[in-house]
Amino acid sequence: MLSSSLAIFRYEFKKSFSLGPTFLWLCVIAFPTLLQLLIDQVGSGIPAEFSGALLVGTIPGAVCLLTILSTMSPYLNAELEGNTWPYIAVRPFGRTAMMLGKYLVSVTRSIMAGFLAIALVFPSTSLNEINRDVPLPITMVASQSAAETNQAEWTEENGTDAATIEIEHDDPYPLWLALAILVVLSSLCYSTLFCLLGTIMYKKPMILSIIYTLVVEGVISMLPAVVNAFTINFYLRSIFLRLMGWELSELPSTLSFLNDPNMISQMSTFWDLISLTILSVIFIVIANALLRNREYHVGETL
């Protein structure tokens, strides 16, 4: 099944770079840069937090989502309309191999689009000024507690001052790196979501997927209630704020809606990643079960 999935991936990936889809794909990639150039022309005084939040909305939230929407959402509809479904359905594990192959295409194209958008927007706009250095995995800072206990012995044996031995791990990440992490997470997770939506709503996948995304990932994820914990956007938003080291109380007025603690996950980043993994596995397993057990007919979507 793995070799079949990879064969489908190679074929579909090459096919996705035809002239028309590639032109639209490049236009979507250039959109965040054009928007930021217009903002730069308006003038300065825009908070760095607002610029960072805007990039999250336009790169992982628009470039990646639109790429996944056009690639993954109609994956089953394309086979039914192209009259190729009977050949896939009769092969051993053909349905699952087709789904996984197209999932890999969606993830790959989305990550490529996100990385290209990041590489284009920073050198071309003023956003490079709000970047910072990549933090070290372990940062050494001054500590008085070490100096109070056996400082003389430590200095004599190790040749360094014991007052500098303390470790910090919570340094903020640069904006470009935080965005790159979100691009990868967004591509992996939203591709499973649109795979499920494309399996359930295969007759009109694009329209219904857009409606679902706007209602659930757009509106419901922004509600200060427990229900937002069942959306991908909720965890991605929480991870981004932690990576950037932004405190809710210090956010500008334009982002004041995030000041409610229910808008942000109260768990650690590790458990947020676990939650995203669980959601993604649930989506892909349900999609595979429906794909393998439902009967589809070639003329259904016409």
Longest alpha-carbon distance in the chain:
84
CB neighbours of 204 closer than 8 A, spacing ≥ 6? none
Predicted local confidence at residue 168, as pLDDT = 39
CB neighbours of 35 closer than 8 A, spacing ≥ 6? 54, 58
List phi, psi (to 5°) of 167. -115, 135
**Which among 248, 243, 219, 244 has a CA at the least distance from the CA of 231?**
219
Predicted local confidence at residue 249, as pLDDT = 54
Q: Helix H segments across the chain? A: 2-15, 19-42, 48-58, 64-71, 75-81, 85-89, 94-124, 144-147, 151-158, 175-200, 205-212, 232-244, 269-293
Averaged pLDDT, groups of 10, the chain, 302 residues long: 86 87 90 84 67 82 91 88 81 87 94 93 72 48 44 49 42 83 94 92 86 88 81 89 71 58 80 93 94 76 48
